[in-house]
Amino acid sequence: MFSLRGDAHKVYLKLKKAAHQNQNAEEIDELAEMEEIRQLYLTLESATLRKVYYRMTKEKNGSGVIPILVSALPWLFFLFSQRLQQFLFKDGSWLWIIFVVLYVFMLIPSVFLHFREQSWASVHIEIIQDILKDREKEPKPL
């Protein structure tokens, strides 16, 4: 099932398909993966889980190397633009095409990877928060 829509819609389509085929929704890979993460976090103590939460929050909110390179690299090229132009465009050279293609092929996957990692950090944060909230609601043993 190919779709240009995001993961949320893909999960919806899989749930819809499972419902029509009378399958258990928990068998869907994406939901099973979330449950696997949740089960692992349930085995950790709350203090450890908070530390993981802090680390995931850092991951989600941190700028990371990829966005820095995405924003800084063009400025670096701008600083050396005259020399770069002389090198890339000398004597009708096609080096500039290779340069642009390589830059774009490095840039696009890097940006996708960055945002994917941020979204996974968000998933982990939500799971951890739910577990910690549930533990706070539990009665304390005497």
Predicted local distance difference test score (pLDDT) of residue 140: 73
Please tell me which residue, 108 or 89, carries the higher pLDDT value: 108
- Listed by start position, the domains of the chain span 44-136
Residue 91 is classified by DSSP as G
- Can you tell me the mean pLDDT for 113-124? 89
- Closest by CA to 72, choosing from 123, 126, 25, 110, is 110
pLDDT tens for residues 7-51? 788 888 888 888 888 888 888 888 889 999 999 999 999 999 999
Write down the pTM of the prediction: 0.72
Predicted local distance difference test score (pLDDT) of residue 79: 64
Asked if residue 12 lies in contact with residue 5, where contact means CB atoms within 8 angstroms, the answer is no
What whole-number distance in Å separates Cα of residue 118 and Cα of residue 57? 9
pLDDT tens for residues 79-90? 677 777 777 777
Residue 45's Cα: distance from chain center in Å? 26
Question: Residue 61 has which token pair?
Answer: 């909110």
